[in-house]
Amino acid sequence: MTGYPVDTRFQKKAVTQTARLEALRHVGLFQGVSKRSLMLIDRLSVVRTVLPGEVLVTEGDTGSDMMVVLDGKATVTRGTRKLSELAVGQAIGEMALLDNQPRSATVTALEPMRILMINGPAFRKLLAKVPGLTDALLATLCSRLRDANAADEL
């Protein structure tokens, strides 16, 4: 007797906390954040599996969650124009954690993916409880704004 075929694309090992923390550490927004704060962010995160063709975010939709690519690739489009591809360690919607503004692009899975989902409302509650996290995020955002301004002046 034979069983049903098994889709082996999703039979991967569980994502360890070490791997999740490493992924968070590489997100630009979290560059200056302490390990303790990264662990708190990890606790409110969920690993989610995404199928090829699945839309993670849609341009123009309001969003509050952020995602970090753990496995697989996605494409980023605005209208009909392809902007880029996202791979392991890259973030999707990091500004949505802070501002709840409409998404600036659509992100679609190109292949099976695993992503780390960070809930926006829970993240904002965490900011209120951990002042050091807020300070680190503000320093990172200021640095990025200074870099963008310097690039505009060239």
Where along the chain do its domains lie?
A: 15-119+126-145
CA separation for the pair 138, 144 (Å, rounded): 10
Q: What is the pLDDT of residue 93?
A: 87
Place 113 in a pLDDT band, splitting at 50, 70 and 90: very high
Q: What is the pLDDT of residue 4?
A: 57
Residue 151 scores a pLDDT above 80? no
**Domain covering 15-119+126-145: architecture:** Sandwich (2.60)
Quickly tell me which residue has 């980023």 as its tokens.
Answer: 76
DSSP state at residue 89: T
Which pair of tokens denotes residue 39? 């662990």
Provide the percentage of residues in the chain whose pLDDT is more than 70. 92
- DSSP conformation letters of 23-84: HHHTSGGGTT--HHHHHHHHHTEEEEEE-TT-EEE-TT-B---EEEEEES-EEEEETTEEEE
The per-residue pLDDT for 33 is 86
Taking the model in full, what pTM does it have?
Answer: 0.82
